[in-house]
């Protein structure tokens, strides 16, 4: 295995998460980044939701999907503090176990960078509970609170197996706007990245 080909096998799934796949209870996932527009699993319903206590932030280094070991990118994580507007996805009961497996394999690369938490979210129908993937600040991939310029510089020049880092940012900004959930900070970041990308070529 070369330095550019890290092992990204998923961490073993805990029994309490695997048990959700029995289909006896509805499972909702809070999506705040690419899960909103590229989930890789079906859902039977999706609606806007507000999660308090966590905010969306480019705070995780990416060495595979949006970067490499020699030139890491950044991906979004749910970090503590503030609030986040996203959507909740209702996983299909008939293929629930398969959807959970897909989600886990995609997000829970070893060593696990997220904690799965059952958290209250507010929707137009009222308060409900959804599973949210919150970032682990003790993880070595946690980038911390980088400045806007630092984040923009990294994103402008990084690309990985899933494409350019700036496309991931642009897709998130675009889909948030389409949902009426425009994020002013991400919009400013996208403008800064585009300006840097024009210089880089």
The answer to whether 107 is a known catalytic residue is yes
Nearest C-alpha neighbor of 59 from the set 184, 185, 180 = 185
Q: Where are the beta strands (DSSP E) in 36-184?
A: 45-62, 73-90, 114-123, 126-135, 159-160, 163-164
Contacts of 44 (CB under 8 A, 6+ apart): 90, 91, 92, 93
Structure tokens at 69: 């070991």
d(CA 184, CA 173): 9
For the chain, report the end-to-end CA distance as a whole number of angstroms: 31
- Active-site residue among 98, 107, 150, 194? 107
The catalytic site residues sit at 107
């Amino acid at each position: 295995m070369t330095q550019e080909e890290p092992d990204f096998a998923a961490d073993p799934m805990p029994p309490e998460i695997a048990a959700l796949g029995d289909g006896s209870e509805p499972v909702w996932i809070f999506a705040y980044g690419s899960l909103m527009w590229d989930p890789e699993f079906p859902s039977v319903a999706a609606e806007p939701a507000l999660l308090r206590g966590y905010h969306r932030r480019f705070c995780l280094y990416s060495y595979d999907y949006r970067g490499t070991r020699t030139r890491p990118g950044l991906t979004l994580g749910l970090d503590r503090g503030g609030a986040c507007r996203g959507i909740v996805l209702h996983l299909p009961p008939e293929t629930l176990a398969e959807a959970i497996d897909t989600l886990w394999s995609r997000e829970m690369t070893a060593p696990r960078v997220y904690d799965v938490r059952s958290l209250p979210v507010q929707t137009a129908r009222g308060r409900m509970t959804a599973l949210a993937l919150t970032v682990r600040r003790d993880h070595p991939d946690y980038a911390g609170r980088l400045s806007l310029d630092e984040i923009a510089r990294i994103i402008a020049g990084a690309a990985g197996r899933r494409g350019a880092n700036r496309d991931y940012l642009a897709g998130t900004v675009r889909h948030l706007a389409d949902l009426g959930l425009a994020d002013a900070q991400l919009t400013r970041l996208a403008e800064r990245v585009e300006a840097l990308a024009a210089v880089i070529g």
